[in-house]
Amino acid sequence: MKNGKIETFTDLNVWREGHKLVIMIYAITKGFPREEVYSLVDQMRRAAASITANIAEGFGRQGYKEKVQFYYLSKGSLAELKNFILISKDVGYLSEKDFNLLVSQANLVDQILSGFIRKSKTFINR
């Protein structure tokens, strides 16, 4: 970011907070049972990575209508991840501390992403 100007998707606060969530998911799922590596762990990591991937892809698109479509895909991946976080807690793979950390970060990303979508939608048909 130069002079406060957003030049790449990594300059976006929503992407940075989403990236923190991805890193948290990777770190915490390392402690999951080995038999979950190709099921729950893989699904959680893919959903988390999809959040930031869709933000990045939307950023790279030309029109705001197209951008917003990708930002909504990101929101869908975030909802999917929240589901997997709940499952992980309920089957005993997540400690209360890790659960709260993940939920807190996921909710922060959700809040920022919702605002980002609202703002982006104001540029459609301008």
CATH number at residue 106: 1.20.1440.60
Domains held by the chain: number = 1
Amino acid at 79: A
Amino acid at 42: D
Residue 71 lies in a domain: yes
Residue 2 lies in a domain: no
Residue 4 lies in a domain: no
Question: What is the DSSP code (8-state) at residue 38?
Answer: I
Residue 15 lies in a domain: yes
Residue 22 to residue 16: CA distance in whole angstroms: 10
Task: Find the DSSP H helices in the chain.
Answer: 13-29, 42-60, 64-90, 96-121
Q: What is the per-residue pLDDT across 21-78, written as a single tens digit (0 to 9) for each? A: 999 999 999 999 999 989 999 999 999 999 999 999 999 999 999 999 999 999 999 9
Domain that holds residue 98: 9-121
Residue 90 to residue 36: CA distance in whole angstroms: 14
Q: What is the per-residue pLDDT across 65-78, written as a single tens digit (0 to 9) for each? A: 999 999 999 999 99
Q: Which residue has the tokens 């793979």?
A: 93
Residue 38 lies in a domain: yes
Residue 1 lies in a domain: no
Q: Which residue has the tokens 């190709």?
A: 38
pTM of the model: 0.95
